[in-house]
Copies of this chain bind each other. A is one copy, B any other.
């Protein structure tokens, strides 16, 4: 049985998912699309043989659609489609962030629990990157002893002029917010956000760049994270986990190495679609496989909530000039614990 998937929103992310589903994923097919810009939807439909729906609700409600991918902009719009999918008891993969407020995440979480079945996977696709998975394995196996510190950097080559300091947290750093507590298998205790006085000349009004984030977990692992989104050297994702007997770090994937012009060079990709192409594929395959096994395994709506609560605390820390803020998380509902 081939799973029929519909995508709501076929901008950059949505059309990437459309291609992925149609050419690289096993066991599923692109069955429907919709978009506020009808031509964009029509183009995807023509390219991959899918049907165009007039609205997201029409797509979700259609008997010809088994599961839904939500990739709309702005992120606030995710919530309504995810709630509709839950109502229709259809599996749904929502791009991250799940929504942009803790309250919105809470509504999704509550609806999902009320429905009695895990239906939502949130697009924290770093968890599907082989590098992070190897690190998580080493931590779980205590291969190098207990983890003590994590040093991270999230570096984008450049950003558009409408990208601001808040987005550097809630759209960019949110990846580390999610993946690091998942790596460690524990919750954050407190966080801290600090704006160093010296900024890059490549930044623009409204964007403080770089920013420094620190997070401490309940067990006392200390994390620092450089967020540097106009770094002008490449899309460079660093994660070094310092353990009692060794350090395990991400290696940027390389297929070749070049000697030229008096240097030997490994490459740094220029954007996230290159760096995490395989992670996105594996995220979608996991969604499809999870549906076929009737048991999702990826990031939950609760993970979406944790991320939003943590980002809110980072904003508060930053706005108070770099004060350590406790994270106040409600207890994890048992509904999400078996995961």
B253–A253 contact, CB under 8 A? yes
B242–A249 contact, CB under 8 A? no
Please report which residues of chain A, range 148-166, place their CB below 8 angstroms from some CB of chain B when the two chains form the complex. 148-149, 151, 153, 157
CA distance A55 to B251 in the complex (A): 47
In this assembly, does A80 line the interface, its C-beta being within 8 Å of a C-beta of chain B?
Answer: no
* A258 interface neighbour in B212, B246, B267, Cβ under 8 Å: B246
Pick the interface stretch among A61-69, A197-205, A294-302: A197-205
Given contacts A2-B2, A24-B285, A226-B149, contact A259 B263 (CB under 8 A): no
Give A contacts to B, CB under 8 Å: 2, 22-27, 129-131, 133-135, 138, 144-149, 151, 153, 157, 194, 196-202, 210, 212, 216-217, 219-222, 224, 226, 228, 231-234, 236, 242, 244-270, 278, 285, 289, 322, 324
Q: Which of A147, A153, A236, A265 has the most CB of B within 10 A?
A: A265
A327 to chain B, nearest CB (A): 14
B256–A248 contact, CB under 8 A? yes
B residues less than 8 Å from A130 (CB atoms): 255
CA distance A260 to B240 in the complex (A): 13
B residues less than 8 Å from A247 (CB atoms): 233, 258-260
Would you list 22 pairs from A and B whose C-beta atoms are within 8 A, ordered by A residue?
A22-B26, A23-B26, A25-B26, A138-B256, A144-B258, A144-B260, A147-B198, A148-B199, A149-B196, A149-B226, A153-B242, A196-B221, A197-B219, A212-B222, A231-B244, A236-B259, A247-B259, A249-B258, A250-B255, A259-B268, A264-B265, A264-B266
B residues less than 8 Å from A233 (CB atoms): 245-247, 259-262
